[in-house]
Structure 1
């Protein structure tokens, strides 16, 4: 593979590893928010109206920012009727074909995310709840997570293509 392709694959993998490891810690932030809400409601007698939405936003950021890292680790669910019996090169060739559908899906999802984020920003969209937070920050995070998954899918495609040719990218 040409050196720019190898550089792209290494850069995407490194960045997604960093973002994925960061996003793993968001579960602790979410737990802290929920613990604070429980303490406030039970001990202080003061219910907090923003906790449910904030925990939903944190969970969304957690799994969308961690999605590319999960893809990188090959930790996603795969239907394995015949795939496990294939040689590594045949698996890579199969993945080269199937990842194209994922890339298409993620590209469409990314375009929709950009449109939705731009709308939320332009019209100052707020959620219809008592807290009424602006929606553009979480939509921007979600779109960024989808973009990272798209980059990781392209990286996986390039690695699988190289493996199918018998020349894996180290």
Structure 2
């Protein structure tokens, strides 16, 4: 099971290390937009939308990696005081009762919108913007898939810990 979890981690490691560069590009692009607007008095809608697309990509595609490196939001009031097996039990419950159903509902509810966007190759959000809103909407199912894959990898490790094994550590 640990080998399978490691193989599942590989996808989010690749996506996470790639997406982190999007954050740098986003900051540089935002700097250029501000410079163009306030120094030269010009503005381009497609540049502003580029920041929006990059922002969406960083958060939606980076969610699985965030779970992988255990940097997601967690309420640690009781969790931090638990033993390794206790934390594993809480995590198993969280993966099965909350993560998987929530991501499943999001995927199911968003699919018609994403499908329609692809069917018509939905255009820009604003006039003069990037003519690819269908790509932006595609981040939603990608988010769901990456988070479910990482959730499964974490679940496998937690099950190993529950059975008394070490479970290994997620790669970062």
Q: TM-score range by the shorter chain?
A: 0.7 to 0.9
Per the alignment, in what secondary structure is the counterpart of residue 95 of structure 2? helix
Q: Residue 56 of structure 2 corresponds to which residue in structure 1?
A: 60
Structure with the larger RCO, 1 or 2 (CA within 8 Å, 6+ apart) = 2
Q: Residue 70 of structure 1 corresponds to which residue in structure 2?
A: 66
Q: Is the 8 A contact 1:117 1:136 kept in 2?
A: yes
Q: Which sections of structure 2, spanning at least 5 residues, go unmatched?
A: none
Q: Which sections of structure 1, spanning at least 5 residues, go unmatched?
A: none
Normalising to structure 1: TM-score of the pair? 0.87
Offset of 1:18 from its aligned partner?
A: 1.5
Q: Residue 123 of structure 1 corresponds to which residue in structure 2?
A: 120
Normalising to structure 2: TM-score of the pair? 0.87
Q: Residue 6 of structure 1 corresponds to which residue in structure 2?
A: 2
Q: Could you tell me how far apart the structure 1 residues matched to 2:144 and 2:120 are?
A: 22
Q: Residue 107 of structure 1 corresponds to which residue in structure 2?
A: 104
**CA offsets 1:6-62 (integer angstroms, 9 cap, x no match):** 333111112211211111110111122222222332344322122322211110100
Q: Is the 8 A contact 1:23 1:61 kept in 2?
A: yes
Runs of 4+ off more than 6 Å: none
Is 1:23 the counterpart of 2:28 in the alignment?
Answer: no
Root mean square deviation of aligned Cα: 1.8
- Kindly tell me the number of residue pairs found equivalent between the two proteins: 166
Q: Could you tell me how far apart the structure 1 residues matched to 2:89 and 2:113 are?
A: 35
